[in-house]
Amino acid sequence: MGEDKEPMEEVEVLLATSNPGKVKEINAILAPYGIRVKLPEEKVEVEEKGTTFLENAYLKAKAYWERFRLPTVADDSGLVVEALGGYPGIYSSRFYSIDFGGIEEGYTPDEANIRKVLRLLEGKENRRAKFVACALFYDGGEGLFAFGECKGEITLKPEGEGGFGYDPVFRPDGYEVTMAQLSAEEKNRISHRGKAFRRLARLIRRVYREPSPSP
Ligand code: IMP
């Protein structure tokens, strides 16, 4: 970033999601790179049957590319907890519905996911965890991808109202507060998704950069 003297031509790509909140968050991350993501005209159902973050990001991007034939970015992310052998991992959004550790009724998915992680960590000393994100670009060719991580610890109880998912129980290294207590800007600066998308943006810029005509 910053080394380009020429004004950058804006690149617009599709974001393989139906979540407008994600578009806003990712556009804030990508704006300095002159890349804008836009919401597709309609949702494409994608079965996330991959076994890794990379595979799932690829399945999403490819499905949207096949439907709209537009350069597409996708991401897949989750929480990896050391003492749980890497779970919830790729099952992060629906960890509550997975059989082991029990299923509780009457909570939102985010609340139920958090309760399950806290319950499974009860009595365990090691509360180390990391958020992992894979950001991927696909336009029918080989594709480009990048990973980002944010390391920290699972707290004893939820705290904070910001963010989403496991943010209220994740304290990033170097902070005394949870991810849910950080501003959106601060979270983007340190988050797995922020890092993955900034890395991907640099790769996309290399691919799309046209040599400037000599004067
Ligand atoms: P997705 O792949 O970005 O849709 O994320 C899958 C799941 O991982 C979410 O439903 C959350 O439970 C969890 N997750 C991913 N990123 C974050 C984050 O930044 N904060 C909290 N939870 C997250």
User: What tens digit of pLDDT does each residue of 57-97 get?
Assistant: 999 999 999 999 999 999 999 999 999 999 999 999 999 99
Q: Per the domain annotation, does 183 fall within a domain? A: yes
pLDDT value for 209: 61
Q: Give the structural domain span for 184.
A: 2-209
Closest alpha carbon to 77 in 204, 163, 185: 163
User: What tens digit of pLDDT does each residue of 122-170 get?
Assistant: 999 999 999 999 999 999 998 999 999 999 999 999 999 998 999 999 9
Please give the average per-residue pLDDT across 175-182, as a whole number: 98
Point out the catalytic residue in the list 4, 75, 76, 167.
Answer: 76
Q: Active site includes 167?
A: no
Q: Per the domain annotation, does 215 fall within a domain? A: no
Q: Ligand 1: which atom is nearest the Cα of residue 167?
A: 21
Q: Which residue's alpha carbon is nearest to atom 10 within ligand 1?
A: 93
Residue 2 has pLDDT above 50, yes or no: no
Q: What is the dihedral of CA 187, 188, 193, 194, to 10 degrees?
A: -140
pLDDT value for 102: 76
Residue 179 has pLDDT above 70, yes or no: yes
If one counts the domains in the chain, the total is 1
Strand partners, 134: 76, 147
Q: Ligand 1: which atom is nearest the Cα of residue 163?
A: 20
Give SS3 for 87. Answer: coil
Calculate how far, in angstroms, residue 77's C-alpha sits from the geometric centre of ligand 1.
6
pTM to 2 decimal places: 0.91
Mutate-to-test residue for ligand 1 from 24, 26, 166, highest number of ligand atoms within 8 A of CB: 166
Calculate how far, in angstroms, residue 3's C-alpha sits from the geometric centre of ligand 1.
32
With cut-offs at 50, 70 and 90, classify the pLDDT of residue 7: low
Question: In CATH, what number is assigned to the domain containing residue 51?
Answer: 3.90.950.10
